[in-house]
Structure 1
Amino acid sequence: MSANIDSKKFDPSTLLWYKNPAKVWEEALPVGNGRLGAMVFGETGEERIQINEDTYWTGGPYSTVVKGGYKVLPEIQKSIFDGNPIKAHKLFGRYLMGYPVEQQKYQSLADLHLFFDNNKDITNYKRWLNLETGITSVEYTMDGVTYRREVFSSAPYQVIVVRLTASKPGSISFTTELRGKRNGSMSNYATDYFRMDGVGKDGLTLKGKSADYMGIEGKIRYEARLKAVAEGGTMKVDDIDLIIENADAVTLYIAAATNFVNYKDVSADPHMRVEQYLKRIKGKTYKEIREETIKDYKSLFDRVSLTLSETKDSYLPTDERIKEIQFSPDPQLASLSYNFGRYLLISSSRPGTQPANLQGIWNNDMNPSWDSKYTTNINTEMNYWPVETGNLSECAEPFISLVKDLTDQGQQVAREHYGCRGWVFHQNTDIWRVAAPMDGPTWGTFTVGGAWLTTQLWEHYLFSMDKEYLKRIYPIMKGSVQFFMDFLVEHPNGKWLITNPSTSPENPPKGPGYRYFFDEVTAMYYFTTICAGSSIDMQILTDLFGYYVEASRILGMDKDFAEKVASARKRLVPPQVGKDGLLQEWTEDWEQLEKRHRHISNLYGLYPGNVLSVKKTPEFVKACKAVLNQRGDGGPGFSRAWKMALWARLYDGNRANKIFKGYIKDQCYPQLFAKCYTPLQVDGSLGVTAAITEMLIQSHEGVIDLLPALPDEWSNGEFNGVCARGAFEINIKWEQGRVQSAEVLSKGGNTCVINPHVEVRVSCNGKRIPTKKMSDGSIKFNTKKGNTYLLKRK
């Protein structure tokens, strides 16, 4: 690959490369197999490979349910209706907040250090991440010898692999240590510990336990093991050091495991698990393991490809491309960002693993920002926005399992905190699947967190049309709906049904009774967001109730209950335009205390929801644009990704592309990880992948709309393997902004309605297919499962 970089014979949509090692963790290159992740710095003197295992968290199984809170709920609701939000906030904090108020933290497992003696006169240095293979590499020359390292995380073998080679035999000498990590900030009371030992003549081991936190005992036990295979030279273990001298090549295998079974069970044996992983690689060559790992990875990654136009800047190092795109077009950088998002999802979310958290599976800190948890007032949902369109349906399994798990404590919270049936979940959870409000009432009154997650379970059905799957998730959908059928109360005007208490995530309203005050829950001088009937609540419930009614019809279940739900849906507060011309964020026509808030919650219904649209509700388009213009194009990474998708739904590809360039410049690390201002997060990276899809194909309104928001700079391209609702897989080719051809693979045999925005002929296996022209310009034709239909421009 190094020679290909020099000769510009590589695909700039799938290769990230750099001329220097990572200076800080946020610049390192990620690898992952869904469970084991690593960040690779690419240093030449002292290499550091930081390692994560996705079940290593603080604490152990626990509950945050507080009994009897429902008794105070009527007083909270009355206080809100009476215009006394601070009283309602205080009552919610005292009686409805979960306890502990905070949740547990995702942890860093270990650091693998490789110490090389000679580190002078380095030339021809390069490091790269090849998205076509999932392998990151570093190569450099020293004293006439070219050294190379490859690192990948193998899903088939469940190990991280480090391979060291050199152009001259006998040139590889280094010492390695597998170091544990401890919570230094909690050293006065933390109870985590680790022990480092050598194993025989070719290995190292690290064993430890998690920290107690918030009064919850640390019950995770873990083991990490390194096994070295040297070709030539000598190898020995000296205490915690493994020393290799004068080898021709060396392969390091790192296995790791914990005792975590599920959110209620920590009875596994991490040592036995590690032994089993190492047993898998016994007798296998590096070449065999590498080939099988690449084959597994490519079975997912190769399903989709996006190719946009290349320019002179496309072959520059990625950090230089990020700078140059501000001055000259580089459409393939958008392709690279799209592919990087899919890479992150494949690497951090596989069947049987934990779902991708705020940082995916990559975390360097024992006290990470926002605990590297699952934040569900936008971030966790955004992580999975591209999973269906990106043809990675299997990668949604951990997310689906998360939602199912949450119904356990979610049912208890519904009963004890609200006196309702069904289940409810709020704005955060951790590996232990707690469901009660947390952080404080300013954030914790987001009762529709579980409802939002549930709408994405329905999306999984729309893309697969799998009725057996729908039967499995139907109880989850029904349970969420049951809660809100009990929880909704009548607005004082007697017409509407609303949620109370409610919140528009993290955004304080500027209305009667709202002011800054000293909060006894957080011990901060801050504001409250507690309200009744926020717009996002109403929009999410409009979607949820509608999806449930449709699921009931498809499955032929609960007809009477579904009719009641449909009636309640009609009474939800409709979208409203305020006196300032903006789509209202609350039921009342209030302004906001923070002018350019990072969340755009009142536009949930435009994206990712299906309540507002140019076609369906044109009367609200101006108000939606007013909100976006008022918020501006800036903000943290996740906010910019969301704004890209929103402008795509408004068919403004150039505005979306402008925001993309700003995101790349200001809220993106050199390897395309998103920032949340400064902390590294994956939500923005994955949100950008989803937004780019929305610019090129949309299918949320029953029509597969091709190139709905194509930027002028992306006038030529191909998008192959992308998925659409109705169980279709699409290939598109366009030139000068117009579709030239498209292929539609029917996975479910459903009727296809598609709008290529040009006149086309439709054929299948050389035979012309009759089509019906629809009023919006789209065409409709019948399909058979497994057949591919060619649309050719006339």
Structure 2
Amino acid sequence: MRKLMLKTVLIITVAFIVVPYNGLLANQPLKLKYDKPATEWNEALPIGNGRLGAMIFGGPDKEQIQLNEETIWAGEPGNNVPKNTHDNILAIRKLLAEGKPREAQDLSNATFPRQAPEGLDYGMPYQTFGSLWLDFKGHDTYSDFHRELDIQDAVARTSYRVDGIQYQREVFASFTDDVVIIRLTSSQKNALSFSVGLSTPHKVHALNLTKNQMHLSGTSSSVDSKTGKVNFEGIVHPILKGGQLTSDNDKFEIKNADEVILYVSIGTNFNKYNDLTGQPALRAQTTLNNALKVKYNKALAKHSKRYQTFFNRVKLDLGTSAQADKTTDVRVREFATTHDPELVSLYFQFGRYLLISSSQPGGQPANLQGIWNEKLSPPWDSKYTVNINTEMNYWPAEVTNLSEMHEPLFSMLEDLSVTGRESAREMYRARGWNMHHNTDLWRITGIVDGGYYGIWPMGGAWLSQHIWQHYLYNGQTSFLQKYYDILKGKALFYLDILHEDRSGRWLVVSPSISPENSYLPGSIGVSAGTTMDNQLIFDVFHNFIQASKILNQDVSLADSVKTALDRLPPMQIGQHTQLQEWLEDLDKTTDKHRHISHLYGLYPAGQISPFRHPDLTEAAVNSLTYRGDKSTGWSMGWKVNWWARLLDGNKAYKLIQEQLSPPLGENGQGGGTYPNLLDAHPPFQIDGNFGCTSGIAEMLVQSYDGNIFILPALPDALPKGSVSGLKTRGGFEIDMAWDNGILTSLSVHSKSGGNCRLRLAEATNLKGNVELPTAQGENANPFFQVREIKAPLKSEKASLKGFTVPKTKLVEFDTKAGERYAFVIQR
């Protein structure tokens, strides 16, 4: 059942300035809390400052703080572009054109085998630094245990009692001093006695103790044919108040201290994807020396203040329940059957916390596990998988007001636009740049995982969308100019490799795949003109054409791109009244595959709109329904966004319930959420966290369809609440409150100025400090420009029933940059 709460409300007050948001979270502490230590990694609590990550276990007798640094990866500089494959790519294309998909798949598999050929890697893994260990004798019997992660100030805390003495630990990864800091205190003097040790699973390492510092140096581990070349050094420096510090072989012994503060600094030799000339020991020591100059209380205050400059931009209140008094692990277990709106808002804000903590300007983008990984060979290498996962990591960046967190992804795109020239030239004889479905610290752009998964030359097409979206949300022409060549390089690549399909009617990409799915038995997936490819190129070409016009560059090239754009295939509605995944009508209603890539056009692209394209919307609903709800964690996160775009808040909320449930199994496909709120593919992948965070935002505000839609998909389960700081295209920030599913107040803060067009429930009448005339025609604000798509082709077997959209109205008003416009509901 599609639900959109569209009712009228009577409010006598007509005050123009309304600020109903700032105090709402006072009684809703944003904490993950537990009454027992973590017994395994998926129960530990993550902290990070973008570069350094740590997982806090909270053991009273043995504390493990597992450590990561963002540039400790296996391997060394170098690309993975295979030689002499161009002719085979042409042969695969020819076989597909001849209607021989099995032969095409066989040749693809032979050309790009599942295991990397000798001398060529399929990507290097992100690797752990190791762990800090704190051993407390006699603390195995304890009481009053409590541990928490406070995402309001980005600090993890542990407390417990032994023999009447209260022990406390406070841990944070400093955003300002760039070290991990651990403070240990007790309620009684001279009560802190414990040992400190460092360990690492890397084979090449050395541990050295000086009078007051512990140094662990090492080299990243080798994988396949690649020798590890990232050198690293970690330093632990204890500061004692009272007590004694001694060394015992490979450990520090601390006895009878009143307070201990441990500083952990890590440096590597990584400068850039092609430069390993840094000095890890000097970097670690210099950073540590600077951190030691700052008193603890000041360091903590500076850290939290810096973090909160990002985090505090958005506040969300979805109501309260008694569940909030329970520990987080219990709340996750009970969420599917118990009303717990605060867990939804906590999960939303936890996603923002993770993005701030794993993706800071000047650093690396968040990978498949953010910056949190305990292994040398993690699942899927914890690389950058760009056929959905890396992109999903950044879906919350703009809408949840964290635009700066996007910068590491743009920096990686700058690198890939260089290394990707080799892929474009050697494999496709094309201009511009290209990559496939994976990359790593070394910015590889060749095939990964062979000719079934990897023959997808679309990774750069999807990643480059983030440049355009950032521009739409922030409106900075200087930003667009900086990254213009990346957009141009993608357009050049596809302009060169597009060719006519078998009918001679359309221009398509071949060979390619619809990510990780197949259409014939025997894992036959290689194909021509997949729907997702067509949708991606549609956006690549439009991005370039618009950027070219805005910047007044490459007019002639833009004309050529426009000619090719006009020959892209339209979307198609197949025999099962589904949105076709392939150029031919090959979908199966029994297909439950986790990837539903052809719905990229619905979200994040916004090419399909319920108000403009009801037939395609209905087909998208059918495709989603056939695939089912329960899936991997990231897939369910994507589905929340899709159902929100389909204006079905109740269905979107059901997917949140599915996601906020314990996973069915570590190696299964059940998806869900671990006790520490991290997403379960399973195993752990961080993309599901980010996908759900963006999905919750999409339920509240959408701005892709030429207007700002207020409360487009509010579920029955969240009838009352408020949100402030959500961001839309055109640089607008939205604050609003609702009750009984009905909007009660609205405030629009215009950062850039320009026309603000609102889509509201039909019966909603706003009164404020500006007039709100009915909107006519298309939005004059260029950041809300809607791209016209071709009418879909429909199978004669399709049986369309019609998609009913809610009754809404469009109003608009002109804004000035920096001004705030407040409204209440008019009587």
Structure 1 length-normalised TM = 0.93
Alpha-carbon distance in structure 2 between the residues aligned to 1:323 and 1:179: 34
Write the mapping of 1:137-176 to structure 2, written as runs, cut at 5 A.
Answer: 137-176=157-196
For residue 681 of structure 1, give the secondary structure of its aligned residue in structure 2. coil
Write the mapping of 1:499-510 to structure 2, written as runs, cut at 5 A.
Answer: 499-510=509-520
Q: Residue 655 of structure 1 aligns with which residue?
A: 651
Q: Specify the code of the residue in structure 1 equivalent to 2:144.
A: N
Which residue among 357, 365, 377 is the counterpart of 2:367?
A: 357
Map Cα deviations across residues 331-376 of structure 1 (whole Å, 9 max, x no partner).
1111011000000000000011110000000001111000000000
Task: Say whether the 8 Å CA contact 1:211–1:218 is kept in structure 2.
Answer: yes
Which residue among 182, 206, 213 is the counterpart of 1:195?
A: 206
Q: Residue 440 of structure 1 aligns with which residue?
A: 450
Alpha-carbon distance in structure 2 between the residues aligned to 1:702 and 1:239: 67
For residue 777 of structure 1, give the secondary structure of its aligned residue in structure 2. strand
For residue 397 of structure 2, give the secondary structure of its aligned residue in structure 1. coil
Task: Confirm whether residue 224 of structure 1 aligns to residue 228 of structure 2.
Answer: no
Task: Confirm whether residue 109 of structure 1 aligns to residue 141 of structure 2.
Answer: no
Which residue among 72, 83, 97 is the counterpart of 1:56?
A: 72
Q: Among all aligned residue pairs of Structure 1 and Structure 2, give the percentage whose two residues are the same amino acid.
A: 39
Q: Residue 56 of structure 2 aligns with which residue?
A: 40
Task: Confirm whether residue 673 of structure 1 aligns to residue 705 of structure 2.
Answer: no
Q: CA deviation at 1:605?
A: 0.3
For residue 31 of structure 1, give the secondary structure of its aligned residue in structure 2. strand
Alpha-carbon distance in structure 2 between the residues aligned to 1:594 and 1:410: 37
- Structure 1: which 5+ residue stretches go unaligned? 1-8, 183-191, 517-526
Alpha-carbon distance in structure 1 between the residues aligned to 2:165 and 2:810: 61
For residue 568 of structure 1, give the secondary structure of its aligned residue in structure 2. helix
Q: Residue 312 of structure 2 aligns with which residue?
A: 302
Alpha-carbon distance in structure 1 between the residues aligned to 2:233 and 2:242: 29
For residue 336 of structure 2, give the secondary structure of its aligned residue in structure 1. coil
Q: Residue 756 of structure 2 aligns with which residue?
A: 752
Q: Residue 3 of structure 1 aligns with which residue?
A: none
Task: Say whether the 8 Å CA contact 2:216–2:234 is kept in structure 1.
Answer: yes
Task: Say whether the 8 Å CA contact 2:109–2:452 is kept in structure 1.
Answer: no
Q: CA deviation at 1:312?
A: 1.2
Q: CA deviation at 1:45?
A: 0.8
For residue 63 of structure 1, give the secondary structure of its aligned residue in structure 2. coil
Question: Greater shift after overlay, 418-427 or 117-126?
Answer: 117-126
Alpha-carbon distance in structure 1 between the residues aligned to 2:311 and 2:60: 30
Q: Residue 21 of structure 2 aligns with which residue?
A: none
Which residue among 187, 200, 224 is the counterpart of 1:214?
A: 224
Alpha-carbon distance in structure 2 between the residues aligned to 1:462 and 1:762: 28
Task: Confirm whether residue 28 of structure 1 aligns to residue 33 of structure 2.
Answer: no
Task: Say whether the 8 Å CA contact 1:171–1:248 is kept in structure 2.
Answer: yes
Q: CA deviation at 1:68?
A: 3.6
Alpha-carbon distance in structure 1 between the residues aligned to 2:27 and 2:423: 51
For residue 540 of structure 1, give the secondary structure of its aligned residue in structure 2. helix
Question: Greater shift after overlay, 648-657 or 234-243?
Answer: 234-243
Alpha-carbon distance in structure 1 between the residues aligned to 2:31 and 2:318: 14
Q: Specify the code of the residue in structure 2 equivalent to 1:744.
A: V
Alpha-carbon distance in structure 1 between the residues aligned to 2:588 and 2:121: 26
For residue 753 of structure 1, give the secondary structure of its aligned residue in structure 2. strand
Alpha-carbon distance in structure 2 between the residues aligned to 1:193 and 1:15: 39
Q: CA deviation at 1:473?
A: 1.1
The aligned length equals 758
After superposition, the Cα gap between the structure-2 partners of 1:350 and 1:317, relative to the gap in structure 1 and judged at 3 Å, is same
Which residue among 718, 737, 741 is the counterpart of 2:741?
A: 737
Q: CA deviation at 1:760?
A: 3.9
Q: CA deviation at 1:93?
A: 4.3
Map Cα deviations across residues 677-726 of structure 1 (whole Å, 9 max, x no partner).
x2111100010000000001000112111110000111111111110001
Alpha-carbon distance in structure 2 between the residues aligned to 1:470 and 1:361: 28
Q: Specify the code of the residue in structure 1 equivalent to 2:163.
A: D
Q: Residue 152 of structure 2 aligns with which residue?
A: 132
Task: Confirm whether residue 780 of structure 1 aligns to residue 784 of structure 2.
Answer: no
Task: Say whether the 8 Å CA contact 1:535–1:586 is kept in structure 2.
Answer: yes
Map Cα deviations across residues 586-644 of structure 1 (whole Å, 9 max, x no partner).
00111359720001111110011121121121111221111111111111100000111
Q: Residue 595 of structure 1 aligns with which residue?
A: 591
Q: Residue 689 of structure 1 aligns with which residue?
A: 693
Alpha-carbon distance in structure 1 between the residues aligned to 2:573 and 2:770: 48
For residue 56 of structure 1, give the secondary structure of its aligned residue in structure 2. coil
Alpha-carbon distance in structure 1 between the residues aligned to 2:549 and 2:651: 40
Alpha-carbon distance in structure 2 between the residues aligned to 1:508 and 1:581: 19
For residue 588 of structure 1, give the secondary structure of its aligned residue in structure 2. coil
Task: Say whether the 8 Å CA contact 1:577–1:623 is kept in structure 2.
Answer: yes
Q: Residue 821 of structure 2 aligns with which residue?
A: 789
For residue 388 of structure 1, give the secondary structure of its aligned residue in structure 2. helix
Q: Specify the code of the residue in structure 1 equivalent to 2:31.
A: L
Q: CA deviation at 1:95?
A: 4.6
For residue 509 of structure 1, give the secondary structure of its aligned residue in structure 2. coil
Task: Confirm whether residue 430 of structure 1 aligns to residue 440 of structure 2.
Answer: yes
CA RMSD, 1 decimal: 1.6
Alpha-carbon distance in structure 1 between the residues aligned to 2:87 and 2:595: 32
Which residue among 294, 313, 320 is the counterpart of 2:330?
A: 320
Q: CA deviation at 1:13?
A: 5.9
For residue 553 of structure 1, give the secondary structure of its aligned residue in structure 2. helix
Q: Residue 185 of structure 1 aligns with which residue?
A: none
Task: Confirm whether residue 80 of structure 1 aligns to residue 96 of structure 2.
Answer: yes
Task: Say whether the 8 Å CA contact 2:234–2:266 is kept in structure 1.
Answer: yes
Task: Say whether the 8 Å CA contact 2:60–2:140 is kept in structure 1.
Answer: no
Question: Greater shift after overlay, 645-654 or 327-336?
Answer: 327-336
Write the mapping of 1:451-470 to structure 2, written as runs, cut at 5 A.
Answer: 451-470=461-480
Alpha-carbon distance in structure 2 between the residues aligned to 1:328 and 1:341: 22
Alpha-carbon distance in structure 2 between the residues aligned to 1:66 and 1:484: 20
For residue 424 of structure 2, give the secondary structure of its aligned residue in structure 1. helix
Alpha-carbon distance in structure 1 between the residues aligned to 2:493 and 2:47: 40
Q: CA deviation at 1:461?
A: 0.4
Task: Say whether the 8 Å CA contact 1:13–1:333 is kept in structure 2.
Answer: no
Write the mapping of 1:629-644 to structure 2, written as runs, cut at 5 A.
Answer: 629-644=625-640
Q: Specify the code of the residue in structure 2 equivalent to 1:23.
A: T
Alpha-carbon distance in structure 2 between the residues aligned to 1:11 and 1:387: 27
Task: Confirm whether residue 387 of structure 1 aligns to residue 407 of structure 2.
Answer: no
Alpha-carbon distance in structure 2 between the residues aligned to 1:556 and 1:789: 34
Alpha-carbon distance in structure 1 between the residues aligned to 2:717 and 2:226: 54
Q: Specify the code of the residue in structure 2 equivalent to 1:533.
A: G
Task: Say whether the 8 Å CA contact 1:101–1:440 is kept in structure 2.
Answer: no
Task: Say whether the 8 Å CA contact 1:509–1:593 is kept in structure 2.
Answer: no
After superposition, the Cα gap between the structure-2 partners of 1:699 and 1:770, relative to the gap in structure 1 and judged at 3 Å, is closer
Q: CA deviation at 1:217?
A: 2.3
Task: Say whether the 8 Å CA contact 2:589–2:626 is kept in structure 1.
Answer: no
Q: Specify the code of the residue in structure 2 equivalent to 1:669.
A: Y
Alpha-carbon distance in structure 1 between the residues aligned to 2:648 and 2:754: 30
Q: Residue 367 of structure 1 aligns with which residue?
A: 377
Q: Residue 486 of structure 1 aligns with which residue?
A: 496
Task: Say whether the 8 Å CA contact 2:416–2:445 is kept in structure 1.
Answer: yes
Alpha-carbon distance in structure 1 between the residues aligned to 2:771 and 2:155: 44
Alpha-carbon distance in structure 1 between the residues aligned to 2:275 and 2:677: 36
Q: Residue 4 of structure 1 aligns with which residue?
A: none
Alpha-carbon distance in structure 2 between the residues aligned to 1:753 and 1:252: 53
Structure 2 length-normalised TM = 0.90
Write the mapping of 1:255-334 to structure 2, written as runs, cut at 5 A.
Answer: 255-334=265-344
Task: Say whether the 8 Å CA contact 2:148–2:157 is kept in structure 1.
Answer: yes
Task: Confirm whether residue 724 of structure 1 aligns to residue 693 of structure 2.
Answer: no
Question: Greater shift after overlay, 359-368 or 93-102?
Answer: 93-102
Map Cα deviations across residues 163-214 of structure 1 (whole Å, 9 max, x no partner).
10111111111001011223xxxxxxxxx411112121x2211001112223
Task: Say whether the 8 Å CA contact 2:127–2:375 is kept in structure 1.
Answer: yes
Q: CA deviation at 1:12?
A: 4.1
Q: CA deviation at 1:661?
A: 0.7
After superposition, the Cα gap between the structure-2 partners of 1:768 and 1:413, relative to the gap in structure 1 and judged at 3 Å, is closer
Alpha-carbon distance in structure 2 between the residues aligned to 1:393 and 1:11: 28
Alpha-carbon distance in structure 2 between the residues aligned to 1:121 and 1:367: 35
Alpha-carbon distance in structure 2 between the residues aligned to 1:171 and 1:49: 21
